[in-house]
Amino acid sequence: QYEHRFTSLWINALPDIVERLKIGGRVLDVGCGAGRVSAAIAKAFPNSEVIGLDPDENSVARARAAAAAAGIGANLSFVAQTTASLAGNGGFDLITACDCVHDFAAPQATLGEIRDLLKPDGVFFVIEPRAADRLEDNKTSLGTVYYGFSIFHCMTQSLAHGGPGLGTCLGPQRTESLLRAAGFEQFQQLDIRSPTNLFYAARP
């Protein structure tokens, strides 16, 4: 499962953060949806505080119910808000965005808010669909699926809220450009093997 791979494999690409979370840190899962990744992080790092954030109240309600049913709750909470609403409540060691940066209605503003919520030595861990920067390099079976997702869901969701409609095939160069424009000084494409996703670490 996605969330199992997150806590057992993917996050190990950030060893400094893993050690910090073992002792006790703060994690914000942006665009948490039904909260599966948030709950997995809270379970894997019981000494850390984990907040799942999503503007959709129905998704947050489902996340809360699932966490309660699984008996996870002491170090886990969910809020139906946006990153802007957390201004002044930052100090996060790790902020995650799992397959959702391309959905942001206001990506530049949201990424800037995420940067401001991080500790100076914190990390923004971004997971995005595996796609190349050029259309001609995405003419694969997976690329075809992702472009279908873009047309019928991701791009249209963003456009419906006045966003740029980045779509699922964001690509590494565009991702780096967005993050650097938002004020992140360090950008790294992580060496994590996955047939479907790309992984990035951005630091203030």
In the block, tokens 């530049």 appear at 108
Q: What are the tokens at 177?
A: 């450009």
Domain annotation covers residue 196: yes
User: Structural domain tally of the chain?
Assistant: 1
Q: pLDDT for 156-195, tens place per residue?
A: 777 777 877 777 778 999 999 999 999 999 999 999 999 9
Q: pLDDT for 1-23, tens place per residue?
A: 899 999 999 999 999 999 999 99
Domain annotation covers residue 161: no
Q: pLDDT for 22-41, tens place per residue?
A: 999 999 999 999 999 999 99
Domain annotation covers residue 70: yes
Backbone region of residue 183 per phi and psi (left: phi > 0; alpha: psi in -120 to 50; beta: other values) = left
What is the distance between the alpha carbons of residues 147 and 165, in angstroms, rounded to a whole number? 12
Domain annotation covers residue 173: yes
Q: pLDDT for 45-70, tens place per residue?
A: 999 999 999 999 999 999 999 999 99
Q: Kindly report the CATH number assigned to the domain that includes residue 83.
A: 3.40.50.150
In the block, tokens 């920067």 appear at 133
Domain annotation covers residue 73: yes
What is the distance between the alpha carbons of residues 117 and 66, in angstroms, rounded to a whole number? 26
